[in-house]
Amino acid sequence: MKNTGPIFGAFNQGAVPTIACFNKATTALGVDFDALIAALQVYVDKFVAPVWGTPAKLIKSKGFVKGAWAMVFLDNADQPGALAYHDLTPDGLPQSKVFVKTTLENHDLVSVSASHELVEMLVDPAINLMTTGPDPKVIYAYESADPVEALSFRVKGISMSDFVYPSYFEAFHKPGSVPFDHLKKVTKPFQVLAGGYQIIFKNGKWSQVFGSVSKKKRFAHEDRRGHRSEQRATKRLMRASKQAIARAVRRG
């Protein structure tokens, strides 16, 4: 698909999306691609959709599919053409990118990275959901895997990312009163586990809160280009969310 003009986001969150999954990486994934897609489908059907209300149909493809969301596997963020569509498909629909070489060099699993990106795309497809929390002067991004990203569980024998529940973003819950993530390791709203982080907007800029010093050091050395944490901080999103942030702060 060739698009020479600007691409605008426009999609119906009420519809069940089809997500075209295609592999453009030359680096071996470390997992069979067909088996990975099948496991990701079960991950959505059995674990994510029941708590977030975000069903989806994953299909294997050779490239972008008309009218479908996308999950593309690339070697790294500076691969030629990798940034051409930023966080959107040529149709202006949500897209996730999994950087295979970067993931493996960080000693992480491609399947965990893929499921991480998938759950976050389903929960916040436009990368614009935010909320107030424990600190009314801080805006917290709706990133459903970042706070628990060091944890995983197996689906059809393949490791998948832990993820938080909607209750995680609801500050009125008492500690231990309800489940806050799938693996039940989080004990209270907005808690960041040792291997995770949370994206926040404070004092006029986006930054991160880390669950541990070691995570902060590791994060500083990671190649974050093309990831949602970078996309969220772009001027485009800042302009789009400025009024929403101001309203949320006033409500707090």
Report pLDDT digits (tens) over 1-34: 455 555 555 666 678 999 999 999 999 999 999 9
DSSP 17: -
Q: Find the mean pLDDT for residues 142-153.
A: 94
Helices 110-123 & 33-42, crossing angle to 10 degrees? 40
**Is the distance from CB of 202 to CB of 193 less than 8 angstroms?**
no
* Least confident span in 48-52, 77-81, 100-104, 172-176: 77-81
DSSP string computed for 130-182: EEE-SSTT-EEE--SSGGGTT-EEEETTEEEE--B-GGGG-TTSPTTSS--BT
DSSP 220-246: HHS--TTSHHHHTTSHHHHHHHHHHHH
Over residues 102-112, the pLDDT tens digits come to 889 888 999 99
Pairing between β-strand 18-23 and β-strand 57-60 as defined by DSSP bridges: parallel
Rounded distance, CA 196 to CA 191, Å?
10
pTM (predicted TM-score): 0.84
Using the CB atoms, write b or e for 55-94: b if 16+ within 10 Å. ebebeebeebbeebbbbbbbbbbebeebeebebbbbbebb
Q: For residues 228 and 235, give the distance between their C-alpha atoms in angstroms, rounded to a whole number.
A: 14
Residue partners of 21: CB distance under 8 A and separation at least 6: 33, 37, 40, 58, 59, 60, 61, 70, 71, 72, 73
Which of these ranges, 86-100, 120-134, 135-149, 197-211, has the smallest mean pLDDT?
86-100
pLDDT surpassing 70 at residue 238: no
